[in-house]
């Protein structure tokens, strides 16, 4: 297994833990949310550090400026280009939100 494949798997598992924490917290099960948080902490030790929202937004702005998209119809093209630059170091949900906000 390549390093890239391993990071992808770890990223998916981390995402599952975050989602489970949210569900358990909303469902009034703090003990289960805490268990997921502990597991997430272990997974995060093996993942690259995540960029903050300002750094991600800067890359999104730079990419949009270079590509000159014609609106929301070019979302997929912009998202693909941005994720090439941010793979493994940015939450795709945050990237999606930033791009959509800028293309609307």
Does 14 score more than 90 pLDDT? Answer: yes
Output the pTM of the full model. 0.73
Q: Cα–Cα distance between 88 and 49 in angstroms, integer?
A: 9
Coil/strand/helix, residue 89: coil
Give the span between the Cα atoms of 44 and 71, in whole angstroms: 35
The predicted structure's pLDDT at residue 4: 85
Over residues 37-80, the pLDDT tens digits come to 999 999 999 999 989 999 999 999 999 999 999 989 999 999 99
Confidence of residue 84 (pLDDT cuts 50, 70, 90): very high
Q: What is the pLDDT of residue 24?
A: 98
Longest distance between any two alpha carbons in the chain, whole Å: 48
- pLDDT(88) > 90: no
**pLDDT tens column, 16-44:** 999 999 999 999 999 999 999 999 999 99
Residue 28's SS3 state is: coil
């Amino acid at each position: 297994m390549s390093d890239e494949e391993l990071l992808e798997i770890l990223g998916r598992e981390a995402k599952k833990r975050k989602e489970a924490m949210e569900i358990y917290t909303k469902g009034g099960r703090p003990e289960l949310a805490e268990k997921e948080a502990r597991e997430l902490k272990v997974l995060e030790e093996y993942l690259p550090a995540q960029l903050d929202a300002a750094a991600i937004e800067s890359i999104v702005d730079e990419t949009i400026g270079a590509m000159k998209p014609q609106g929301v119809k070019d979302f997929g093209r912009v998202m693909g280009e941005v994720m090439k630059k941010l793979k493994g170091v940015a939450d795709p949900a945050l990237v999606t939100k930033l791009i959509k906000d800028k293309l609307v």
